[in-house]
Amino acid sequence: LQSPTIDQAKLVQVNKPVFLQRKVTTSQKVLQIAKDLQLLGHQEGGFFKETDRSPLYMENPYSEKNTNSYRQATTTSKDKTISRNYSTLIYYLITSESAIGRLHRNHSRIIHILQKGRGQYVLVYPDGTIKSFIVGFDFANGEVAQWVVPGGVYKASFLLPLEEEPSGDDCLLISEVVVPGFEWDDHRFMESKDELSELVGEEKAEELGWLLG
Ligand code: GUN
């Protein structure tokens, strides 16, 4: 579960963001971005739009049925149990009023590219390791604008204010590329604090419980 882009990032502590402590009304400017990009509410929190899905199909690498013997037959099939699109691309936006993307994991590694704003990611690895880093453009201070989250690693994200005083103009806009393309079958929300506790221990789970949304 190596990721050079995440190794580049400075690891930071996780503190509950100001946007969860008090309501900061999202500005017209940010609402207009969501409108212009035709974003819709995402079940993780925030807003998204799938902007591209490769028309090519590959075999579903996560299918147990997957064997070389019928590779030839499956690569043009649209049956999602046996095939996947090569890739998908989305915009994802979090705002002052929808400021967290709740903890979930995907089978596939996901390439994230920062477009605007600043935020924090929290990763929980299968062995219980927690890594948190800031996504932003202050590269000299260990912020990153590209980060690849390995498959099978839980991730959550939340908005950070650009200035000391949080503002309705604060937002985090990213692009995400998934290979093979996104399917709900490959996606799983973390369901409970008990589940988190099993991974990271009771104390950490108590501290990070709000990442479950
Ligand atoms: N549909 C619902 N959620 C998602 C997502 O995260 N990515 C893509 N591509 N489609 C989705």
Cα–ligand 1 centroid distance for 136 (angstroms)? 23
Name the closest-CA residue to atom 7, ligand 1: 182
pLDDT at residue 181 above 60? yes
Cα–ligand 1 centroid distance for 184 (angstroms)? 8
Which of 90, 92, 177 to probe ligand 1 with, by most ligand atoms within 8 A of CB? 90
Q: pLDDT-derived band of residue 81, with 50, 70 and 90 as boundaries?
A: confident
pLDDT at residue 105 above 50? yes
Cα–ligand 1 centroid distance for 61 (angstroms)? 18
In sequence order, what E strands does the chain have?
40-41, 47-53, 57-59, 83-85, 88-95, 100-106, 110-116, 119-124, 130-135, 146-149, 154-159, 171-178, 187-189
Cα–ligand 1 centroid distance for 112 (angstroms)? 13
Q: pLDDT-derived band of residue 28, with 50, 70 and 90 as boundaries?
A: very high
Greatest extent of the chain over all pairs of C-alpha atoms, in Å: 60
pLDDT at residue 6 above 70? yes
pLDDT at residue 74 above 70? no
Q: How large is the average pLDDT for residues 96-123?
A: 98
Name the closest-CA residue to atom 4, ligand 1: 182
Pocket around ligand 1 at a 6 A CB cut-off: 42, 48, 50, 88, 90, 182
What pLDDT sits at residue 72? 44
Which of 40, 42, 105 to probe ligand 1 with, by most ligand atoms within 8 A of CB? 42
Both tokens of 11, joined, read 């690891």
Buried b (16+ CB within 10 A) or exposed e, 111-148: bbebeebbbbbbbbeeeeebbbbbbbeeeeeebbeebb
Q: pLDDT-derived band of residue 80, with 50, 70 and 90 as boundaries?
A: low
Q: How large is the average pLDDT for residues 6-13?
A: 96
pLDDT at residue 76 above 70? no
Over the chain, what is the mean pLDDT? Answer: 93
